[in-house]
Amino acid sequence: MENRFEGKVAIITNGSSNIGRSISLELAKNGALALIADEHLQKAARSARTFAKLGLKAKAYKMKVTNREEVDKIFHQVIMEFGRLDILVNNAELFSLRPFEKISEKEWDRILDVNLKGTFLSSQAAFRVMKRQGGGKIINVSSYSSRSGGMISPGLYIPHAHYVASKAAIESLTRSMAFEGAPHGIQVNAVSPGPIEKDLMMQSLSPKKRKGLIPVIPLARLGRPEEIAQAVAFLASERASYITAKILDVNGGILMD
């Protein structure tokens, strides 16, 4: 175990989900105080208790990422309690399958609200804090579908244009935030997962379709949540001290661009 983040405070949105929990655990294992922010407080609290039994530092917060008042309240509370914020991981997302012409305005707004607006609101709150303290790290979680247009593999397209649009926007937002944050020591990057075991996208596919993915992934397997977590931890660490505005693909080689 390395203590790369000893004394660091990290907020992870949707930090008790499949990938989010792995990110929270990876940061905590490396010494960070992992603040698990989730709309479902009980799930977040269970994760925090599990971490505590392992001797790790974690705390749960109820936070709806689409509610500015709630987001600002939690960030303020974190500063009052711990005096700083070093890392923000924007992991909160919604996913659904729907042919483009059948996406309702309500569903479009719902996906964009959580995925894009949630990233915006949390990042904006973090920016204020990080500017005052002279720096920090923001890592957004995107998806390789942002650049594949929804093509999961050759011959396998799944309709989720609203999700694709939200993730493409997150990658553009990452670059814009990086430019504005750089003079203040704020580094902003994104991790773009490919097919990951038990994530929302893979769960939407039949076992047969999931199995059919394996031959077209150069590394010949689905990714693991902890592999996304390790990429996030790298970008959050001093080992990435000269990296900003980067979209880091973690996809087994299924998308090369």
Q: Known catalytic residue: 61? A: no
Q: What are residue 98's DSSP bridge partners?
A: 160
**Side chain identity at 206, as an amino acid letter?**
S
Q: How many Å apart are CA 63 and CA 40, to the nearest integer?
A: 8
Q: How many Å apart are CA 156 and CA 205, to the nearest integer?
A: 10
Taking a C-beta distance cutoff of 8 angstroms, is the pair 30, 229 a contact?
Answer: no
Judging by DSSP bridges, how do beta strands 9-13 and 136-141 pair with one another? unpaired
The dihedral sign for the CA sequence 235, 241, 245, 251? negative
Residue 117 tokens, joined: 């607006």
Residue 94 tokens, joined: 């919604």
Cα-to-chain-centroid distance, residue 109: 20
Q: How many Å apart are CA 49 and CA 165, to the nearest integer?
A: 36
Residue 175 tokens, joined: 């670059």
Name the one residue in this structure whose structure tokens are 């942002």. Answer: 146
Q: Which of 144, 157, 163, 242 is catalytic?
A: 163
Say how many C-beta atoms besides its own lie within 10 A of residue 101's C-beta.
Answer: 7
Taking a C-beta distance cutoff of 8 angstroms, is the pair 11, 89 a contact?
Answer: yes
Q: Which residue numbers are catalytic?
A: 163
